[in-house]
Structure 1
């Protein structure tokens, strides 16, 4: 991919025990946090050798199988779709973590290695104890953000978005990140909602060799891209809903990331509403769709207190703040209506 756009803003001097979460969220822009986790023992082990990093990780391993994606050399490290976009080009496999790590290392010198991609495995489930010396202090700020670990070779997590905010910590190897603001969705040509390599729609554009005849608007996305290369010990804040592609640049890579939402647990993911809107609204006549757009703007996308402002507080119900009790009532009501 030709480097266009601009470098991601960087910030030095952050510490794992003093995360500037409020500042990052208020800025709403991606930020490279140079050296944030350079003192993690995992990072230091990886700087010694890949074998030292593997030995360090396995010191916490419980013996439970882990799941990963595997593809042949023809995949080129890019889990994506087969032609037709109804099947993925990798297969899910399960193995012991020690066997998986040694298999990845055994192909380090292959000119065209198989694709190995262990994605989003919860640290507490597969490597309990790792957090004791390798963690960010989210809990100190009252934020629940259990870390996940990603381990593979020169793999590419094709450009996609996640609903939560994210801090991605490069623990072993180097990573290249390419980000786009949420308004670039149409210029990134998302694939099917299902299936998808990681649970989220990914771009159909191969950034290394973009087909501008099929995807001409990708040039517009390139112009506003943000990019950065991170070394082991660096981290990146990725705001909610920003599109991001993550490339492992070394023959062995480990990343630890933290997702967290800005809403309390009783507020569900908007993806449920998206699926319902596709079902209930998208195919209606254009006049009806425009009328529903006005209704949604009034009730949903405008100021949160607008629709109920002229009503007595006791009469507002769902037009007022939604607490856990009201959320349970809404869930029961929707479940009842959808099951009719």
Structure 2
């Protein structure tokens, strides 16, 4: 079969840009936002951004001054294997996951930065406050009452397959250049998702190579592309990625840094929907059709529709977990689930 033709991502529509004049403006714009948007120069005054504008080496030196003495987990691609961190032909990962000190990792980047054919080196989702001292305080976006997880992503040129996340996400390009290609949440079937339990980084990814899509193998991907938008970020620019939006991420410069913030605007005691999906696979997916139809109706009744008829006939003081959850009833429900799984 002939190799799929290259696809020019720059021809896709660009994500809308918003102007934000203050932290209060940003807070108001994020509240309830369900569409992606770009904010130019949101972090232009960060010391990390200014260091990166001088050179990749200056950005690394800045990070080294803030590092804590601990092992960092990083991905190391195969020399000559390209920038895509993905599966190989055997559906194993085409990179190794290793640990090392930050000076050691940066030493490897120093030795190969900008050289064609060098291995991809990628530190993904590093907790800024756990692994660095003062870095978050000197380089952060104020997000009001939200309590986000602040992570930093560091590395050479990479391409990360389209995936989604449950939390909302504000992604800030701190050094180098980043290109995001976004698809709405409902495009999951057109993205041809891979395994759930064997993934490059914990989230299910699209099996389509976005830069060279094989439309013969993945014909519905044309429908996904009809919904796609891109954002090309320079140092200091930020992109809001709403919950569950699929995003393909490219680090385009010889050295790249991204800082992102994840948060969920839900009550903190609620569980993760992905866990419920996994449990449904364990308990329901392989039942006979008539049993699956019964459980689908029960899920509609108790979860997706959840109308007044579910509890109208039960005294309020006896509704338990059928009433809106509290921290106490959520804890009781979680304990029951754990007991059932441990049998």
Counterparts of 1:113-124 in structure 2, within 5 Å, are: 113-124=118-129
Q: Work out whether residues 157 and 246 of structure 1, in 8 Å CA contact, stay in contact via their aligned partners in 2.
A: yes
Find the residue that maps to 2:86 and give its secondary structure.
coil
Q: CA deviation at 1:121?
A: 0.6
* Matched residue, 2:42: 36
Q: CA deviation at 1:28?
A: 0.3
Distance between the aligned counterparts of 1:22 and 1:297, measured in 2?
34
Q: CA deviation at 1:112?
A: 1.5
Counterparts of 1:148-297 in structure 2, within 5 Å, are: 148-297=151-300
Task: Please identify, of 168-177 and 42-51, the stretch whose mean Cα deviation from structure 2 is larger.
Answer: 42-51
Residues 149-197 of structure 1, C-alpha deviations (whole Å, 9 max, x = no match) = 1000111121101111100110000100000011100111111112211
Q: Work out whether residues 231 and 239 of structure 2, in 8 Å CA contact, stay in contact via their aligned partners in 1.
A: no
Find the residue that maps to 2:328 and give its secondary structure.
helix
Gaps of 5+ in 1: none
Q: CA deviation at 1:292?
A: 2.2
Aligned partner (choices 114, 118, 137) of residue 109 of structure 1: 114
Residues 275-316 of structure 1, C-alpha deviations (whole Å, 9 max, x = no match) = 111111112233332332222122111257663245332122
Distance between the aligned counterparts of 2:44 and 2:309, measured in 1?
47
Change (3 A) 1:132 1:289: same
Q: Work out whether residues 77 and 116 of structure 1, in 8 Å CA contact, stay in contact via their aligned partners in 2.
A: no
Aligned partner (choices 69, 79, 102) of residue 63 of structure 1: 69
Q: Work out whether residues 5 and 224 of structure 1, in 8 Å CA contact, stay in contact via their aligned partners in 2.
A: no
Find the residue that maps to 2:310 and give its secondary structure.
coil
Counterparts of 1:138-153 in structure 2, within 5 Å, are: 138=143, 141-153=144-156
Find the residue that maps to 1:245 and give its secondary structure.
strand
Residues 230-253 of structure 1, C-alpha deviations (whole Å, 9 max, x = no match) = 000001111111100110010000
Report the number of matched residues.
336
Gaps of 5+ in 2: 1-6
Q: CA deviation at 1:5?
A: 4.6
Q: Work out whether residues 151 and 259 of structure 2, in 8 Å CA contact, stay in contact via their aligned partners in 1.
A: yes
Q: CA deviation at 1:63?
A: 2.2
Distance between the aligned counterparts of 1:211 and 1:220, measured in 2?
13
TM-score w.r.t. the length of structure 1 is 0.94
The yes-or-no answer on 1:320 pairing with 2:323 is yes
Q: Work out whether residues 160 and 249 of structure 2, in 8 Å CA contact, stay in contact via their aligned partners in 1.
A: yes
Find the residue that maps to 2:179 and give its secondary structure.
strand
Change (3 A) 1:166 1:39: same
Q: CA deviation at 1:65?
A: 1.5
Counterparts of 1:5-154 in structure 2, within 5 Å, are: 5-15=12-22, 17-18=23-24, 20-85=26-91, 87-138=92-143, 141-154=144-157
